[in-house]
Structure 1
């Protein structure tokens, strides 16, 4: 799959686009030719509204929306990742869980194939990158739907697609932004604190299991992308 390029441009609205009243357009967002944006819509930072799209609902940060009505088709990223390849210098692929894993956004669970079926497994506290305190299951995401669109201050998460497939955006707020395709339960996406994530492009049968390091705490969420970037920079410099 071809990666969306990264643009470093100011907010741009094509002169043929029609933008309704009270529309808020975030930093670095772009609205393409002949696009229509309904009144009151919020377009997040660095989002891209494709030409001729008809936007009736808010567009999350970094999202790429197409169609009428517009739906999230992708997120702006620098690389679409084969889980077996390095992501970038800062976030290399972790080794198989159960060993001395290096910090990485893609981690592999141990897997045993047998004639009677395939077993994928990990040991909590001995192989997982954190102790699991909460489990969530996401399924029945409609076509064009998306989940996440936030970062965390202290929470760790491990995303496992146990059926079907989906794509996961991972962004450290410092210039490394990738999309990882999950289609094998032994390949997981590790979302550390100060990483922005979104899940999208779910297949109709997708079932995504999310393991989390702590109970639900609304104060740990960062839902504004610009605030997240500021937090990520502060965290890195401290």
Structure 2
């Protein structure tokens, strides 16, 4: 048994966070209310609670409550977005080798169903020598006229590297200005390991979709997650 040091507790948040007392108290409050009268409790809350949660999420993430979907986890959010991408035969999905297998498998299944193709690239070789300029250069060089989606991960659990998502978004935005509306690139980010620990307003990060669980660094209830998408992004996935 290892001693329960402060460092160990911090690293455990990498997977699942312990509930802070306000969160634990709220969970117990709602559980008690549901147990006391399940039928009335459900009828009183099922039409309003999602909107209230989305409004609270929007206050933290920026943007509108209508831009946010609630999920059970990052994996569920990635599956929901990637399995609904509106793609055609020959379209290209560009993803990185640093992504979680939830992204890998969701994109592979979507490609199989639509005839799109998936190509994987490395945005760096040595985690200790990553530079914003090199990431942008590699991304720009990898994008082709067929590229319709770029799927990446903000903070990499395997290396600790935090990608310069804002700079990557600027690169994609510049390329999109040269493309017709139906050929523009959708920029999707798995942000779970940066969400809550980075001082960043999600709606200003520059991506089109941001997917995360809220039971890690944001210390939310286990089994909760969010998807944020901008006005351009949501019409590009099947609801």
Structure-2-length-normalised TM-score: 0.29
TM-score norm. by structure 1 comes to 0.29
Higher RCO, Cα 8 Å, sep 6+: 2
Higher strand share: 1
